[in-house]
Amino acid sequence: MDMGRFLIETHLRTGRPIKDLAAAHDVSASWLFKLLRRYRLEGPEGLAPRSRRPHRSPTRIADVYEDEIVAVHKALADDGLDAGAATIHYHLAQRYGAPPSASTIFRVLKARGFVALSPKKRPKSSFKTFVADLPNETWQADMTHVEFGGGQLYEVLNMIDDHSRLCVASRAMKVVKANDVVRVLHKAAETRGYPASFLTDNGLIFTTGRHHHVAGVTEQELFALGIEAKHSRPYHPQTCGKVERFHQTMKKFLAMQDIESPKQLQRQLDRFVEYYNEVRPHRGIGRKTPAWVYHAREKAVPSPSFVKVGERRLRFDRVDRAGRITLRHRGRLHHIGIGNAYSGWRVAMLIDGLDIEIVGFDGSPLRRLTLDPTKDYQRIP
């Protein structure tokens, strides 16, 4: 029941004083006097409930920034970049000391029709995530395809630091080969240093162990640098989820650019990486930039696989299923036979020039030989 209308009509019908009605029904007398004035000026329509919201609020912060919020959103979206409320808040914070909160920015975007609500997703609390404790503790690497210029198809090799999400390398080429992975790794290390471990899927550019039972070019180089080679479980891309997610963000950006040549593609990749690393706040690292998180802690380093023992070098390896280990000499890969009986053994190689002594971890001697640099396979005599 509309109490105000009822009491005013009772006053008009019975003549009972307003103050008596207010006291009897535990309402404000001034409110009833206000309603009575409205009735006398407007008639029965004056008793209808009215909104108490003010017509304008000079102190409402969203009104001051509303046009700028929309402008930043459009600029980011037109460039294929993340244009959500948190990102806009980050950019406004660079310009002003106290911009509207992310929730306020979201309400402005929603009111202006820039937000399309998505169906409910799996709650974040149900996901179990793994993050490296230190920068350079693990780099994730993967290759993806991009199309540009009306049908040209190129491959892009991306490398991401697991701890900070920093993109350490993003290189486009017609076809990515194992030698390209090694080359890009060395180039990235010139400015970032080498990682302690290298996580990839089981693509042939990263590993051949599952297919040919011998270490590939990438794995051999990682071992020589003291970098641990890690691989995801087959058909389980979630293990390399950070670099997979980077692929999506990168492709969204590239789709909004006018790219006609491979050189233009690489220039846009470089532009995107700079923005992604230095400017864009990342949700996965507390809305900080990857560059900030990367530089905030000391960096992990590789564990060298070569150790000096007197005048000889000590190198560790594992005997593959074919009974062989591998060794690079002057850039050429050599396969050294040990015997199928030792498949899976961890062994140590004492190397003095071309003279090699191979022993098991229990100290048992397995083989001595003088490497023949002209032969790829050093067979058991």
Residue 53 DSSP class? S
Q: pLDDT (tens digit, 9 = 90+) per residue, 169-178?
A: 999 999 999 8
Residues 240 and 184 in one domain: yes
In percent, how much of the chain has pLDDT > 70?
86
- What are the pLDDT digits (tens) for 205-251? 887 654 444 456 787 778 767 788 888 877 666 778 899 999 999 99
Examine the domain organization and report whether 14 and 91 are in the same domain: no
Answer yes or no: do 103 and 30 share one domain.
no
Q: Is residue 119 part of a domain?
A: no
Please tell me whether residues 323 and 209 are part of one structural domain. Answer: no
Q: Is 131 part of a structural domain of the chain? A: no
Q: Is 130 a domain residue?
A: no
Are 366 and 258 part of one and the same domain? no
| pLDDT confidence bin for 349, thresholds 50/70/90 | confident
Does residue 356 lie within any of the structural domains? yes
Same domain, 25 and 144: no
Same domain? For 20 and 144 the reply is: no
Range of the domain at 374: 306-378
Model-wide pTM > 0.75 = no
In a domain, 362, yes or no: yes
Q: Are residues 328 and 275 in the same domain?
A: no
Residue 238 CA to residue 255 CA, distance in Å, equals 24
In this structure, is residue 236 part of a structural domain? yes
Residues 165 and 23 in one domain: no
374: amino acid identity, one letter: T
Same domain, 328 and 358: yes
Do residues 368 and 246 share a domain? no
**Owner of token pair 């899976």:** 344
Identify whether residues 171 and 318 lie together within a single domain: no
> pLDDT tens digit string along 46-82?
888 777 776 665 555 656 678 888 888 888 888 777 8
d(CA 256, CA 276): 16
Beta bridge partners of 198: 139, 229
